[in-house]
Amino acid sequence: MEMYDSVNVFGEKLALCGEDPITGFYRDGACNTCSQDAGSHTVCIEVSVEFLEYSRFKGNDLSTAVPEAGFPGLRAGDRWCLCAMRWLQALEENMAPRVYLQRTHIKALEIVPMELLKRYSMDLS
């Protein structure tokens, strides 16, 4: 599993997304990806209560801990590498969480247009 370069949507070094809980396809704290990452876990989000409820409703319960998988469960305010398609689906249903562009992998742009990500940015001034 050769990892793609750690580059964000601006073409700069990818910043860490979250280490508490540890996130990412590689569980390295960053939204790094590779060709085996079928879900493209590339969009760094700030978790909200609304998004957790939405995700659970869609069949992906992110708030419940799964200790045997080393997953503590997410809480509002956590940062998490979300699948790009899930973010886009949430956007289409007006449930998209806010994103950190400096922490979002450039590969997310293959699925989500930059202008959509910018609308939900937490780190643009």
pLDDT digits (tens, 9 = 90+) for 112-125: 999 999 999 999 85
Task: Give pTM, 2 decimals.
Answer: 0.95
Domains assigned to the chain: 1-125 (3.30.56.110)
| Element containing residue 42 per DSSP (H, E) | strand 41-46
Q: Which residues contact 69 (CB under 8 A, 6 or more apart)?
A: none
Summarised one tens digit per residue, pLDDT across range 50-78 is: 999 999 999 999 999 999 988 899 999 99
Query: In the chain, pLDDT over 90 holds for what percent of residues?
Result: 95
> Of the ranges 29-38, 44-53, 116-125, which one carries the lowest mean pLDDT score?
116-125
